[in-house]
Structure 1
Amino acid sequence: MTLWVLSYAEKSKVVVMTIKDRMKQPLSVAELQIKGSSKGPRPHKIRVLTGKKNEEFIPPQQFIELLRSANRIMLAEGGDPANEESFLEMLKGFQLSADRVKICKHCWFNRRFNFVNSKSIKYHDELICADCAKEELLRAVRSAGSQYGEKSVYFLEQVLHKTRDLDRTIRMLSPERLDPEFTRYDTIRTSPNEATVRVKNLPLAKKFREMLLQKSETLLPVQALSVEAGLLEGKNQFVVSATATGKTLIGEMAGVQNLLDKKGKMLYLVPLVALANQKYDQFTERYSKLGLTSSIKIGAILIKTSQRVKMNTSPNADIIVGTYEGVDHMLRSENADFLGKIGTVVIDEVHMLEDLERGHRLDGLIGRLRYVAPEAQFIYLSATVANPEGYAKKLGARLVRYEHRPVPIDRHLLFCQENEKAKLISQLAKEEYSMRSSKKHRGQTIVFTNSRRNCHKLAGALSIRASPYHAGLSQYERKKVETLFAKGELPVVVTTAALAAGVDFPASQVIFESLAMGIDWISVQDFLQMSGRAGRPDYHDRGVVVLMPVPGKSYSSAQSDTEEEVAIKLLQGEMLSAGVEYGEAEQLEEVLASVAVTSSVQDLRNIHSLMFGGFDLDKLVSRLQSYRFLEKKGNKVSLTRFGKIIAAHFLPVSKAFLIRDAVLAENSPLKIVTNLEFFDAAYFKYANQIGSSLHVNMPSRVFQGAALDIVFDGESLSHLDIKIRELMLNFASDFLTCTCRDSPYCGCAEQKFSEKIIRLRMERLDPTQIIRNLEDKYGISAYQGDVFGYLDNAVRNLDAVELIARVHSKKEVAEEAKKLKKKVQG
């Protein structure tokens, strides 16, 4: 048995612990009083602390024997100097001595024992042991006023272990005074430029090379790797690299040089209209200097208004920028020949193949383009892919992978409450905007939130100039925000996660106000895509990413993880490949679309062998034949009149049958299109006031959750302000009057509301005027972009109704659809 005696000198006494075998819990604790004598200091009273009411003392001689039997006597540092000296003198009188040691004061206070050293935890300018630090941390978590999950507590313990600083760890729980040293989670470093290729040595046309030299004398690393992998020798490439590493220029170098070498035009394809608009503007300005023309294909812009930005949409241009669907529409409409000779196809954000809704269409488009342009050079670009080798193999392309950031990124984790966010974001954005990089650019911020409504709400709540930006805005409004941000005149843009792959805002800081897209958590791929927008090498020296999770928060009862746990998963997470799989309905659509570009069954088989999705082609062709969408004679296959309409209008089979049946029943075209697609992006303008008056959580969206129940309830309405009550009664009397058993959840309200929007358009109101009318009469608002989009889709659907009616000899329905279509177009 090892026996230690540990002492600590206080003002009037020395506390003494007896420790067996280095155990943290002592055998006994006693208080020693020392008294002077002719022989020097001697033990006077030794009171054993038993926790009982009756005091227990031991004789001085017994205490001296304990000291003599100890393997080690220790004196803890930091005690009362005078009493320390008396204790050491006393020991000396018995030919004993003590080692000076550093102990954990928190342990000592709790009558436990533990040493501390330089590796112990720092807390309030002293060192404490790991166990006490953990206890203090858990106490701080419990008193923080938030519900932290187990994973979050574990993460905080890891931070404590990593930093050895309890003050710093606890500061993560209360971000009132923002200090990057306390909130920094990690830093993603840059790496040295491994590959350098000088622009002047590139085998490019002289004018093109001179244009590139104006920007830089050397290529960025990923561009250099691409050139070394055969970019300028016509090799197909799949380029995987972080946002802002220079991927776009890889596609441009191949496409423009192929154009100048007379190999054919360039198609540059992106997932979003906003991104297509931006690329179109950039290419028009940049390459007109080389005598090249640019045009845009984003699907027909069918609604005529004064706010539409005029753009070249001719397929005869040298460079065609388009959305996936915009270019696929030409192929599906049997107009592939109008594209002319294609030299280069650049497909940006190719990881969209894994998107549940649009993945099958991108898959089909790639297969069809590889068929109609077999000699073209294909360049696929992506920032985030879980299985790049598998992608490259299936796409028939060389993998060019560059895993390093162009500038370092500091990633920060800021636990906070909902009501603190606007203040914290304002502070972070102001600090960022006050700084200029070595390239003389101000720091600007993108804030990601989970809904369009929150974009406006948050932008309005910040104490620094900020603008909302989302797909619900009109093209004109989005363009205005893009221009101001590009000029450095707008410090903050608040946008949705849905635009993560969108417009190229040159931001130095990205803030995640929310970690959801709607009510679903964002994926690791989404997170990497979004956070990758922080820091641009042409503008900034570093990027900043800030996550602002609310402890305990979730967006639906189905979510087991809370927001702060999701934040930690995202920061630590690895991407998982969702794969490119889709169902039979999507497969039928893609086969039908592919028949628009070939009449050969063998070629059809070849097209679908190039695609990711699995196809039982014989079965699918047979099914489409039975639907009378296509005809097959021997090795030849062709679309029927009905099939051509379905393919060109991107109609799923189920939707095509709905239109056909409604046409045969001679339903009105207005009823047909409003049943096909509801306008559901409507909002109660006074949702907050209604919620406050009724003491309920009022959903802002009109056709969501219990909103209709509340409006449907006459008793509820009686508690509302008279003006709001009148608006709600107008809404109820116009849209909630059906006698369906499931009313108001039968769909009649949505259908009537959608019909109202089209009727207002028929009265020659533009989307802005339509919204004003809805606000004035019903207290219901919407975004211009959503109204534009709905009317555009209504025109497409009316076009399909007209054509299908003609196929089935329903002339009156066809003529009515044609007239209605013209009125909606304006």
Structure 2
Amino acid sequence: MLAKFFPRNILETLKNRLGITQLYPTQYEAVRQGALEGKDLVIAAPTASGKTLVAELTILKRLLEGGKALYMVPLRALASEKYEEFKNFFGVFGYKTAISTGDFDSDDAWLGKYDVIVTTNEKADSLLRHKAPWFDKVSVIVADEIHLLGSDRRGATLEVLLTRTKLMPERPQLLGLSATIGNLEELTEWLGARPVRVDWRPVPLREGVYYNGEIFYNDGQSVSLENHGAPLFDLAYDTLKEDGQLLVFSPTRRSAVSDARKLSAITSKFISPGELKVIRENIRRLKSEHSDKVTLQLLELLQKGVAFHHAGLASEARSTVERMFRDRILKVIVATPTLAAGVNLPARRVVVTDYRRFNVELGYYERIPVMEYKQMAGRAGRPRYDKEGESVLIARSLQELEFLFKEYVEAEPENLSSQLASEPVLRSHLLSVIATSELVRSLDSLGRFLLNTFYSYQNRDYFFVIERAKKILNRLAQAGFLEVRGDKLEPTQLGIRVAELYIDPETAVTGLDFFKKVDQASTLSYLYLIASTPDASTIHLRRGDEEWLEDILKSSSLGPVARPPEDEIEYEFFLQRLKTALLLEDWINEVPEEHIVEKYDVGPGDIYSLIQTAEWVAFALSEIAKLTGFNEHSVRLAVLSKRIEHGVKEELLELVSLRGIGRVRARSLYSHGYKSLIDLVTAREEDLAMIPGIGRALARSIKKQLSSEAEESHEEEEKIQELPEQGLDAYF
């Protein structure tokens, strides 16, 4: 079938070097429906059914025709996974793959040299806002996990991005990929694409519910399990005794850790001496980089063949867990539901311990959507290792057994719904399309744009969204982001800059209000300002936090813009922002990671997430201040942004500008008398090598960076990256 589309040398390479000898049903149907002929498709097919190869073959066809490909994913971790995969696949044919997931204030013109570009949805949207010069050369766009268009937080970004591509004069081919879409036909009608729904899986899936020692399956069969004292124990032992792996979804971080600890008594019995040796090598490496309580908890469990997995773990720890599970070294992973939409980790049996999860923002348990459950269930069954996969929910009563069958096992995924109508979402994207696109420069053209959105297609209430848009336009005009002159919409320089910076317009408004009210601010005031913006992430209050935060409040210098509100609910939000600001203050004052983890009851991954967001908001506010004439605020926020990025006091900023030098190594250099780049220029390489944490390879790198010599070799870079260092220094 492929001989119709590819020359013989390509077909031979696909067969001999990549092992592709026949097409799965999913791939056959996609080709039959026109994927290789440039037709727009949305494919809904189970995990591991071959969707990625459809994308690869489609991209390869477009590359052979002289085009370029953009591959969009929802998460950075998934972007990294796809980048490694595509680098190998397309590299065989001589094509280059690049990845870009950070820096939302750039057009990344350098990407023009690459053939396949992997980004997150937000980064792709940012590149479109910056009018990336290579974007018009893109001939195919792949939207992986396209069902997340219906997600309440980030779905609108994908919707607006797809709407903009729909309206491009020379529209690129669109390929959407998903495991579960209830209203596939509706989505494809909106996109003008063809639906491809395939139920085939390389490993058959059985779904069931465990109750009282027995699994009841959706095919009417049942099986009794040995009693090991608890449902999870029964399921784990039954899986591991047959040399299978188990993926458990637990509703909270705390329950994930607890379940992993309980299961360690069983998993430890199935670890071989060879596997234990590999585990201990990984434990030693992770321990040299992180000594916080969350990581130490993980390391304790790893040597027993089990791990927990959640967003609080450092990225190295998550990657290590994932790699050892793929290598079949680890027997069980207990994860929070966020893993279901992340990296691909198949297991013979998937167990969902609770059909509810805890919503930390609202403070209560909520039901998991059917679509999310189906995503979890889809992880069951590992090709080449398992003859079939099993997904099992746990029931605690007969009534719950019936409920779980009806509401989850036998239920269809929910339909995707547009999230564009909410005001916070709409105001950001309205400013974006007006400020960075020639598509929308009048009320009439704005109406046409909104009419082309999935929201308008689904709801048919065009006038409602137009009226809401007009109210938002008035607010944007009052804030100075655009001018409305009759039917004409004209973005101001401030409005264009806000859109380019990829921040909520209200973040800029919050910053401008602060600049106007405060002439001189403390560092803590700036950090509180950052934590108060709509774009910022904040950490939640724990029991006992209120007392020590109020003690801090009495002696802190937050200034007049951060007076505690009288309203009880608002006061809790106030304390959350204060707690976040204090964490960031500790971070930039070089408090060790393990102390921050303990003090604020967070994980290294949480710290990293907060740092990323806060660093960007500080930079964006600095740019807004510079544009509006608040120069002192601009300079101080720019410096603060760099301090947040590297986690250092201001005196170390010069040193951390060097590759391979993070907060710990910079402090080590400083304490040994090397306080500036000039000091390092005059230093002897052998003296630098003697400083703790430096060594010969890094000392040589420092001297070369400070000289006019050519860039270091790849080999030396690898040696530097292998040098261990405590804390989050590994990130920076």
TM-score of the superposed pair, with normalisation by structure 2: 0.69
Amino acid at match of 1:348: D
Instruction: Specify the alignment match of 1:584 in structure 2.
Output: 423
Instruction: Specify the alignment match of 1:660 in structure 2.
Output: 512
Moved more, 470-479 or 816-825: 470-479
Whole-Å separation in 1 of the counterparts to 2:136 and 2:536: 38
Which residue among 200, 203, 208 is the counterpart of 2:6? 203
Instruction: Specify the alignment match of 2:707 in structure 1.
Output: none
Q: Are 2:44 and 2:177, in contact at CA under 8 Å, matched by a contact in 1?
A: yes
Whole-Å separation in 2 of the counterparts to 1:564 and 1:421: 24
Whole-Å separation in 1 of the counterparts to 2:574 and 2:423: 30
Q: Are 2:181 and 2:413, in contact at CA under 8 Å, matched by a contact in 1?
A: yes
Amino acid at match of 2:491: L
The C-alpha deviation readout for 1:107-166, integer Å capped at 9, x for no partner, is xxxxxxxxxxxxxxxxxxxxxxxxxxxxxxxxxxxxxxxxxxxxxxxxxxxxxxxxxxxx
Instruction: Specify the alignment match of 1:570 in structure 2.
Output: 408
Q: Is 1:529 the equivalent of 2:375?
A: yes
The C-alpha deviation readout for 1:290-316, integer Å capped at 9, x for no partner, is 2222222223399xxxxxxxx999464
The C-alpha deviation readout for 1:473-505, integer Å capped at 9, x for no partner, is 222222212211222222222212123221111
Amino acid at match of 1:734: I
**Aligned-partner SS, 1:238:** strand
Whole-Å separation in 2 of the counterparts to 1:232 and 1:241: 18
Q: Is 1:281 the equivalent of 2:77?
A: no
Relative contact order (alpha carbons < 8 A, sep ≥ 6): 1 or 2 greater?
2
**Aligned-partner SS, 2:180:** coil
Instruction: Specify the alignment match of 2:211 in structure 1.
Output: 415
Distance change (3 Å), C-alpha of 1:708 and 1:740: farther
Amino acid at match of 2:181: V
Which residue among 544, 549, 552 is the counterpart of 1:734? 552
Q: Are 1:663 and 1:810, in contact at CA under 8 Å, matched by a contact in 2?
A: yes
**Aligned-partner SS, 2:92:** helix
Q: Are 2:593 and 2:604, in contact at CA under 8 Å, matched by a contact in 1?
A: no
Q: CA deviation at 1:616?
A: 1.7
Number of aligned residue pairs: 558
Q: CA deviation at 1:369?
A: 3.1
Distance change (3 Å), C-alpha of 1:297 and 1:400: same
Q: Are 1:598 and 1:604, in contact at CA under 8 Å, matched by a contact in 2?
A: no
Whole-Å separation in 2 of the counterparts to 1:735 and 1:504: 45
Q: Are 2:99 and 2:118, in contact at CA under 8 Å, matched by a contact in 1?
A: yes
Whole-Å separation in 2 of the counterparts to 1:593 and 1:583: 16
Which residue among 291, 314, 318 is the counterpart of 2:115? 318
Whole-Å separation in 2 of the counterparts to 1:434 and 1:216: 33
Q: Are 2:44 and 2:184, in contact at CA under 8 Å, matched by a contact in 1?
A: yes
Whole-Å separation in 1 of the counterparts to 2:209 and 2:244: 20
Q: What residue ranges of structure 1 are gaps of 5+ in the alignment? A: 1-196, 303-310, 436-441, 553-560, 683-701, 713-729
Amino acid at match of 1:323: T
Instruction: Specify the alignment match of 2:155 in structure 1.
Output: 359
Q: CA deviation at 1:511?
A: 0.6
Q: Are 1:805 and 1:811, in contact at CA under 8 Å, matched by a contact in 2?
A: yes
The C-alpha deviation readout for 1:315-334, integer Å capped at 9, x for no partner, is 642211111112112223x2
Which residue among 247, 250, 260 is the counterpart of 2:54? 250
Q: CA deviation at 1:680?
A: 7.7
Q: CA deviation at 1:608?
A: 3.6
Whole-Å separation in 2 of the counterparts to 1:484 and 1:608: 47
Equivalent runs, 1:462-611 vs 2, <5 Å: 462=263, 463-464=266-267, 465-518=305-358, 519-551=365-397, 565-566=403-404, 568-581=406-419, 582-600=421-439, 601=441, 607-611=449-453
Q: Are 2:150 and 2:417, in contact at CA under 8 Å, matched by a contact in 1?
A: yes
Instruction: Specify the alignment match of 2:257 in structure 1.
Output: 456
Q: CA deviation at 1:346?
A: 0.4
Equivalent runs, 1:171-320 vs 2, <5 Å: 197=1, 199=2, 202-203=5-6, 206-207=9-10, 210-212=13-15, 214-263=18-67, 265-300=68-103, 314=111, 316-320=113-117
Which residue among 616, 631, 654 is the counterpart of 2:466? 616
Whole-Å separation in 2 of the counterparts to 1:353 and 1:319: 23
**Aligned-partner SS, 1:613:** helix
Q: Is 1:425 the equivalent of 2:229?
A: no
Q: CA deviation at 1:391?
A: 0.7
> Which of structures 1 and 2 has the bigger CA Rg?
1
Q: Is 1:799 the equivalent of 2:638?
A: no
Amino acid at match of 1:652: D
Amino acid at match of 1:445: L
Q: Are 1:585 and 1:653, in contact at CA under 8 Å, matched by a contact in 2?
A: no
Q: Are 1:508 and 1:543, in contact at CA under 8 Å, matched by a contact in 2?
A: yes
Amino acid at match of 2:89: R
Superposed CA RMSD in Å reads: 3.3
Q: What residue ranges of structure 2 are gaps of 5+ in the alignment? A: 214-226, 268-304, 359-364, 457-464, 556-562, 647-732
Instruction: Specify the alignment match of 2:189 in structure 1.
Output: 393
Whole-Å separation in 2 of the counterparts to 1:403 and 1:539: 20
Whole-Å separation in 2 of the counterparts to 1:634 and 1:421: 74
Amino acid at match of 1:461: K
Distance change (3 Å), C-alpha of 1:795 and 1:415: same
Q: Are 2:109 and 2:133, in contact at CA under 8 Å, matched by a contact in 1?
A: no
Q: CA deviation at 1:639?
A: 2.9
Instruction: Specify the alignment match of 2:589 in structure 1.
Output: 763
**Aligned-partner SS, 2:211:** coil
Q: CA deviation at 1:809?
A: 1.4
Q: Are 1:735 and 1:753, in contact at CA under 8 Å, matched by a contact in 2?
A: no
Moved more, 742-751 or 322-331: 742-751
Q: CA deviation at 1:278?
A: 1.2
**Aligned-partner SS, 2:99:** strand
The C-alpha deviation readout for 1:617-646, integer Å capped at 9, x for no partner, is 873555533443224678875532321233
Whole-Å separation in 2 of the counterparts to 1:734 and 1:291: 59
Q: Are 2:149 and 2:416, in contact at CA under 8 Å, matched by a contact in 1?
A: no
The C-alpha deviation readout for 1:750-805, integer Å capped at 9, x for no partner, is 2332222222222245xxx3342452xx4x42111111111111111112211221
Q: CA deviation at 1:456?
A: 2.2
TM-score of the superposed pair, with normalisation by structure 1: 0.62
Distance change (3 Å), C-alpha of 1:679 and 1:345: closer
Moved more, 342-351 or 609-618: 609-618
Amino acid at match of 1:282: E
Q: CA deviation at 1:408?
A: 2.0
Distance change (3 Å), C-alpha of 1:732 and 1:627: closer
Distance change (3 Å), C-alpha of 1:323 and 1:708: same
Would you tell me which structure has more helix in proportion to its own residues?
2
Distance change (3 Å), C-alpha of 1:400 and 1:773: closer
Would you tell me which structure has more strand in proportion to its own residues?
1
Amino acid at match of 2:155: G
**Aligned-partner SS, 1:244:** coil
Amino acid at match of 2:200: H
**Aligned-partner SS, 2:118:** strand
Distance change (3 Å), C-alpha of 1:528 and 1:339: same
The C-alpha deviation readout for 1:549-583, integer Å capped at 9, x for no partner, is 3349xxxxxxxx96873454112223332521422
Instruction: Specify the alignment match of 2:631 in structure 1.
Output: 811
Distance change (3 Å), C-alpha of 1:383 and 1:782: same
Distance change (3 Å), C-alpha of 1:638 and 1:802: same
Q: Are 2:71 and 2:143, in contact at CA under 8 Å, matched by a contact in 1?
A: yes
Whole-Å separation in 2 of the counterparts to 1:312 and 1:473: 34
Q: CA deviation at 1:607?
A: 4.2
Q: Are 1:266 and 1:342, in contact at CA under 8 Å, matched by a contact in 2?
A: yes
Instruction: Specify the alignment match of 1:754 in structure 2.
Output: 580
Instruction: Specify the alignment match of 1:84 in structure 2.
Output: none
Distance change (3 Å), C-alpha of 1:739 and 1:823: closer
Whole-Å separation in 2 of the counterparts to 1:570 and 1:824: 44
Q: Are 2:249 and 2:337, in contact at CA under 8 Å, matched by a contact in 1?
A: yes
Equivalent runs, 1:124-139 vs 2, <5 Å: none
Q: Are 1:345 and 1:376, in contact at CA under 8 Å, matched by a contact in 2?
A: yes
Q: CA deviation at 1:380?
A: 0.8
Amino acid at match of 1:611: T
